[in-house]
Chain A
């Protein structure tokens, strides 16, 4: 049902390769440079935590990685394919298949209930409604959210909403999960729970995670810490080298060891 992420020929190659990334915005008559030449390689299975003060360009960086913000200069390749050589719809297709996204504030399609929202990325990809709903239900069950299937998303608590949006981010079995301050609006208990889910997804399913955070307490979750300042990468700390033998990874991240994500 979900295509295989295993790409045996990619051993040793970065999953995301950023070279000389520049981005400037027009503010009034002036060009404001937000990203000033970023180079970074992210390997499959890494958990990257991105630190930096507000306005240092973290979010813009994430937006360019997922293909929403066309850079002024430089290249971004996802498994060797240059993202901005594609047209808008092709990039949408990459987001659809390869990326899962979690935002600080969960976004919902308001006319759909929880399970339909989780199933939505599968619907975009063209799955049958029944199959998509079934998979979404199964996933919500793994997350212990089965009873909320028919709820309107906004009826749930912040922590629950964030868990549901993680469900939605991984329902299409993506390569990479991009999270922009996913715990920013949560209390410490819920935040801890959410971070553990990310950890499990990273460690058991070996999915690559790129997360923006302000909280230095989360350092221990990451394999790589990236500090940004004024549109540049100030320093990169590799906490743990990740083996990239992808043939050992579960092809469907919902079927990972134990079947429990919490």
Chain B
């Protein structure tokens, strides 16, 4: 028998029991829709949380520090070693120290960081006003909003502050003791940060004053996939290495578990739908026993009978899953639009809470077709095995 005719026959069989077909396919549709909805919810949440954390460059960066070790240090030699690790784009050092910040007659305690422009770029700092220093050899500074409010509370851009910096002995040559120096800087930028007061200055301020060891370093890898390897290498050197990628990986891991839980719920729904489908097919087989027997008596081959029942199952599955996918994606889109509307009317940032890539939609479609094919196998086998004479005696 031609495949197209088998398909037609399956369609006619389903069509002659409209209500039963609609109810069974409806069960499949609900479960597929449910799965699509849950997965797009999970993926949407995941995307929102990881998008918020990072720009793409940050994923390539490792933060290195000496941890609590008194023996190890990060100096130019170590920096050199970093650069020679595989796939390192560049390594940038940073020094931090306690400082007194003075402006006019007021002064506060804070932290001063020595870091160059590239380091600032890598950190992707957000300036609320002004700009970064023009190059790494100037005497310019960037302060945060916390410093500004505590010192003056006015616009401090372009004004001068004086730093009294204490350099800890571990940053200096081995035999040197704690050192202190004082320097005046021109404020060129304000960082959008309201936590504790801090100041960024170019690194040369410290190296000029005898600093040889760095507090920590950032290493930028060529590719984000190299981060894990480099982290291991650095840890083998006795240093401590962290990357945002790890945090992201942890978040992703959490969401993977979350997805598995969501999918299991969906799986239960699919299972229930399958039971319904199986039930329908079995009943239809019992009803059609005589008819199948007669079809075989007329000369219908066993595999044609087999395919007829399998196709009925696949057709129910196909109708159900297509409707289900539309329902699932549709619900997500409607809710996204609603959230967007709500967010823009209340002045909040709009988010896409439901998100599902097209390949996943296709995958779910294929999977549910496969499941309905498998559901059809047992009734189809039974149908193919029906003995024509027994069946035709069956009332």
What residues make up the interface of A, taking CB atoms closer than 8 Å to B? 63, 66, 68-69, 88-89, 92-97, 99, 101, 107-112, 120-121, 123-126, 128-129
Contacts and interface: CB of A to CB of B under 8 A. Distances in A.
Nearest to A98: B299
Contacts of A121: 298-299
Nearest to B303: A89
Contacts of A94: 299
Contacts of B359: none
Given A68-B389, A124-B304, A109 B291 contact: yes
Interface stretch (B9-17, B48-56, B68-76, B133-141): B9-17
B302 A124 contact: no
Given A68-B297, A129-B5, 18 more contacts: A68-B389, A89-B303, A92-B300, A92-B302, A93-B301, A94-B299, A96-B298, A96-B299, A96-B300, A107-B291, A109-B291, A110-B16, A112-B12, A120-B298, A123-B2, A124-B1, A128-B2, A129-B8
A179 to B, nearest CB: 13
B298 A124 contact: yes
7 contacts: A68-B389, A95-B297, A101-B298, A120-B298, A123-B2, A124-B298, A124-B299
B195 interface: no
Given A68-B388, A107-B392, A92 B8 contact: no
Contacts, number: 67
Contact of B299 (A93, A107, A108, A128): A93
Given A89-B302, A111-B16, A129-B8, A63 B1 contact: no
B4 interface: yes
Contacts of B285: none
B2 A126 contact: yes
Contacts of B12: 111-112
B132 interface: no
Contacts of B15: 111
Q: Which of B5, B12, B302, B303 has the most CB of A within 10 A?
A: B5
Nearest 4 A/B pairs, CB to CB? A96-B299, A111-B16, A95-B299, A107-B294
